[in-house]
Chains A and B, each alone.
Chain A
Amino acid sequence: MELRYFIIRRLLLMIPTLIGLTIIVFVLMWSLPHTFLASAFINPKAPNRAQAILTAENQLGLNQGIVLAYLHYLGNTLTGNWGYMTLTTPIKFDGTVLSGIGLFFPNTIQLVIFAAILSILIAIPLGTYIGARPNSIADHSGRIFSLSFYAIPVFVLAVVFQVIFGKGVIAGNPVGIFPISGTFSISAINVISPPSWLVSGVGGVVLSQPTHLIIFDSLIHGDYALAGNAFMHIVLPVLVLTLSLLAGILRFLRASMVDAANSEYIKTARSKGVPENIVVKLHMRRNALIPTITVLGLLFASLLGGVVLIEDVFDYPGIGYLALSTILSGSIFGVLGTTFLFGIILITANLLVDITYAILDPRIRY
């Protein structure tokens, strides 16, 4: 299949980008004092501290010039030796960078996947509807909606939603029913004898087993009350993320629909006597999705920024909150590790976007 060759080609093109990402992260690291780097790389409670710092200097190649040091960095990154981090605020964590990422990553995946699915499910039919009726009332309200949610800073949206829908923020507010921080309420579990599947993980973080996602784990173990409680906790973060992504997709889909509606092939379709609803759903939308897909990569990049802000506002223990904690706790390898991770996520997302693009647009195959 031609598509397979396209994917292979695209994977090969990823290599220079990945190298670029490592170079940039490496430059960030290299610009800091080297003595500080070595001591930050190791566990501060290591028994033989002087020896450990010496080993770290060798592992990082700090005395071997910039080129060799970069190769060392590359080797460390590939082998999973991402360094050590001690986080104090707002997340308290003590352990290797990679283990920390492992703990917090699932929560973010859950958040992003919910938001992505929801926004795509809403945006495509809605964008098709309003894009096919330019300058109608539906179109104007859709445009105002998407413009405002596209223009509103995501942290403002998060805070405003906390005010409006947050439990206990405004007294007597009938819609204020959603908890505004964390992933579950302490009151929802028996603190004195907590369930056995809630364990204390690496670095002193309370973790649920086996998926690390409290909703699914409590469902697996049959604790439906806790599952409900955890669900209520993610409603607001997911809603905010969904709205900001939805607004972006809607904006571009509408514009592409209008563009597609002006094309010659739509006239051809009508000249064949194709009924209007099929003209819109088959001929217009199929074409309009293609340019929309191309901006998805860009939207996803800002979505990741939104993740950091939303997780901060809702104290949601994901990698955005982790990234913020590494910065606030001054853990350099934590900062570098999370930055690199975010880069990998975006590169992967762009890969998926390009493949979807190739599937949708027959002209793209080589």
Chain B
Amino acid sequence: MYSIQNLEDELNKNNTTNEDEYLKVTDLVTNFYTSRGIVKALDKINFSIRRGEIFGMVGESGCGKSVTALSIMDLVQDPPGRVVSGRVEIDGFNIFSDIKDLAKIKVKSETDVKIKRNKRAIKKHNFMLSKIRGKKAGMIFQEPSLALNPVLRAGDQITENILLHNKKNIADSLINRANLSLDDVKLVVDEVLKNKDETKSILNNWCRRNALVDLETQINSIFKNYTDPKEIENEIVSLIKGGLTLVDKASLIEARDYYDYKERMENLEIKRFAATEESDSELIRSIGAEEVKLRGTSGARFRSYSLKRIFTGKKVEKAFKTEANRRAKELLSLVSLPDPERIMRSYPHELSGGMQQRLMIAIALASDPKLLIADEPTTALDVTTQAQILKLLRNLNQLVGASILFITHDLAVIAEMCNRVAVMYAGSIVEQGDVLDIFDSPKHPYTVGLLGAIPTPQVKTESGINLHTIPGSVPNLITPPSGCRFHPRCSFAMEVCSKSKPKLVELEAQRKVACFLYTSEVEE
């Protein structure tokens, strides 16, 4: 069944792959320098995630899945770990463009390694990362009970994120609200009262248009509780302007412009950062010019503003905080947490494991990133909660449109959740492709073994359920096997396998395997 439509889709896909890729990881190497030796945790990882897809990553424990997740955000604990080389492009920006400057690593022997860190470069690197992390990619950890700060209230942990990255956006919606006149409200009230059957859709539209989505349910209930149009208008106006009574529109606009200016300057700085690393002098010059221009037009104005903010900015900040709180509550209902008001005030230990993980997801979503990295988000939870969290993540993927990097050791979960999957073994990706393809016809002997290791009730032999196992165990990554790291456990091992490492090559469209059964290409 190969229709023209399919073909076209295929062509489109191939044309747009590169633009589609939100995350692109190239030759990523991460090592841990321990007193027992160098743990080569990641050995040149390559993969990419497209916008909107759920990408699975599967493997035994200790194969480097979690290290991959941490390396993508440069969150590997240092010491002992460091990302040594490679590229991680998030939304086209390589966060490791300055990796050569960060530290000089001198390996004298396995156990004697001198790392000389360049504090200045690391400081700059961290500043740059703080603009990328959270904003472009959020992270969900394995153990919510450990990953949530025990001494901060849930609400503060969410709003922290919102206020860090979305101030301009908040200012915009506050201004929008301040712009709303009584006449606008009158119009919509009239319209609703005329078409009572369509109350919901009219309000939905109107709220969307005027950035009032978070108030939609409350406005709905006003219509239910009151009948007199005058009363309804008053209630709606007081609801909308409630958070704004403290500040006038002028100072809101001033604050918006200030944050806009700051954001632009930061963006330029990040751009220049990337340009410097790639020594693109043309680009650097144009960025410099733009910066001068920006500073010339609004710099002076905002220098005085940042001073003013210290004395009179409290009210504006409070309006921001109120709005952030409102958004946080909205997020809490988005991740189906009951009674957001109460949750906002709770400390993490007062919530159950499942609720903590929902909170964690809400935190990761708070700054509206387009990529979620979920590192075994359900492993620490009980089975029923697991199912709920998985469902939530899938729904969010559709609703918010964020891509998800889903890391797990559970093949069943991968089959249920993901579009594409990469199979990891001992720090390398051994196979990658569409979930269905991989489950239907696994290529790499390790994947074959892994799939064989799932007990399937259908396949029964005389001795009952047939349970395959892969002989041996995960190798020690301080002294990994030579060549293909899987060869000591592989029943198809050939002479070449112990000598050189196979390259991850594309067998067919979107299907990659690293095994000498399929290729003779060698990884350098």
Contacts and interface: CB of A to CB of B under 8 A. Distances in A.
A273 B148 contact: no
B126 A287 contact: no
Interface stretch (B157-165, B189-197, B281-289, B402-410): B157-165
Interface string B161-195: 10011000000000000000000000000000000
Nearest to B136: A273
Given A273-B131, A275-B130, A268 B147 contact: yes
Interface in A307-366: 360-363
A130 to B, nearest CB: 15
22 contacts: A263-B146, A264-B146, A265-B148, A267-B147, A268-B147, A270-B133, A271-B134, A271-B138, A272-B134, A272-B160, A272-B161, A272-B364, A273-B129, A273-B130, A275-B127, A276-B130, A286-B151, A287-B150, A360-B151, A362-B347, A362-B349, A363-B150
Contact of B367 (A269, A272, A275): A272
B164 A267 contact: no
A262 interface: yes
B202 interface: no
B75 A267 contact: yes
A65 to B, nearest CB: 51
Contacts of A159: none
Contacts of B132: 273
Contacts of B126: 275-276
Given A264-B143, A268-B139, A271-B134, 11 more contacts: A135-B79, A265-B150, A272-B164, A273-B165, A275-B127, A282-B152, A290-B151, A361-B150, A361-B151, A363-B150, A363-B349
Given A362-B150, A363-B349, A267 B134 contact: no
Interface residues of A, number: 24
Contacts of A113: none
Contacts of B161: 272-273
Given A264-B141, A362-B347, A363-B347, A272 B149 contact: no
Contact of A273 (B79, B164, B347, B360): B164
A283 interface: yes
Closest A-B pairs by Cβ, 7 of them: A273-B134, A271-B139, A264-B146, A273-B133, A272-B134, A265-B149, A362-B347
Contact of B160 (A274, A287, A290, A361): A274
Interface in B69-83: 70, 73, 75, 77, 79
B65 interface: no
B363 interface: yes
B146 A262 contact: no
B159 to A, nearest CB: 11
Interface of A: 135, 262-265, 267-276, 282-283, 286-287, 290, 360-363
A276 B74 CA distance: 13
Nearest to A282: B152
Contacts of B79: 135
A290 B150 CA distance: 11
Given A272-B164, A273-B131, A362 B151 contact: yes
Nearest to A271: B139
Among A264, A276, A283, residue most surrounded by chain B Cβ atoms (within 10 Å): A264
Contacts of B134: 271-274
Size bin of chain B's contact surface? 35 or more
A286 B146 contact: no
Contacts of A269: 149
B24 interface: no
B130 A265 contact: no
A278 B328 CA distance: 20
A177 B134 CA distance: 57
Tell me whether chain A's interface is mostly helix, strand or loop, or mixed: helix
B146 A265 contact: yes
B498 to A, nearest CB: 37
B135 interface: yes
Nearest to A275: B130
A264 B148 CA distance: 8
Nearest to A266: B149
Interface of B: 70, 73, 75, 77, 79, 123, 126-127, 129-135, 138-139, 141, 143, 146-152, 160-161, 164-165, 347, 349, 360, 363-364, 366-367
Contact of B152 (A263, A273, A286, A290): A286
Contacts of B127: 275-276
Contacts of B367: 272-273
A275 B125 CA distance: 11
Contacts of B77: 262
A362 B363 CA distance: 20
A271 B73 contact: yes
A282 B163 CA distance: 15
Given A264-B141, A268-B363, A363-B347, A273 B135 contact: yes
B362 to A, nearest CB: 12
A35 B159 CA distance: 72
A33 to B, nearest CB: 56
Nearest to B137: A271
A124 to B, nearest CB: 16
Contacts of B164: 272-274
A149 B259 CA distance: 48
Contacts of B141: 264, 267-268
A160 B389 CA distance: 64
Contacts of A263: 146
A156 B437 CA distance: 77
Contacts of A290: 151
A271 B143 contact: no
B147 A265 contact: yes
Contacts of A282: 152
A292 B101 CA distance: 37
Contacts of B131: 273
A273 B143 CA distance: 20
Contacts of A265: 146-150
A283 B127 CA distance: 17
A282 B151 CA distance: 10
A166 B366 CA distance: 61
A283 B75 CA distance: 16
Contacts of A273: 129-135, 161, 164-165, 367
A262 B77 CA distance: 8
B495 to A, nearest CB: 43
Contacts of B146: 263-265
Nearest to A361: B151
A287 B130 contact: no
B380 to A, nearest CB: 11
Contacts of B123: 276
Contacts of A275: 126-127, 130
Contacts of A262: 77
A283 B366 CA distance: 18
A286 B70 CA distance: 24
Nearest to A261: B77
A334 to B, nearest CB: 46
B250 to A, nearest CB: 29
A359 to B, nearest CB: 11
Contacts of A362: 150-151, 347, 349
Among B132, B138, B150, B364, residue most surrounded by chain A Cβ atoms (within 10 Å): B150
A263 B141 CA distance: 12
A134 to B, nearest CB: 9
B150 A271 contact: no
Contacts of A272: 133-134, 138, 160-161, 164, 363-364, 366-367
Nearest to A363: B349
B349 A264 contact: no
A237 B138 CA distance: 53
Contact of A287 (B73, B147, B151): B151
A273 B167 CA distance: 14
A361 B79 CA distance: 28
Nearest to A287: B151
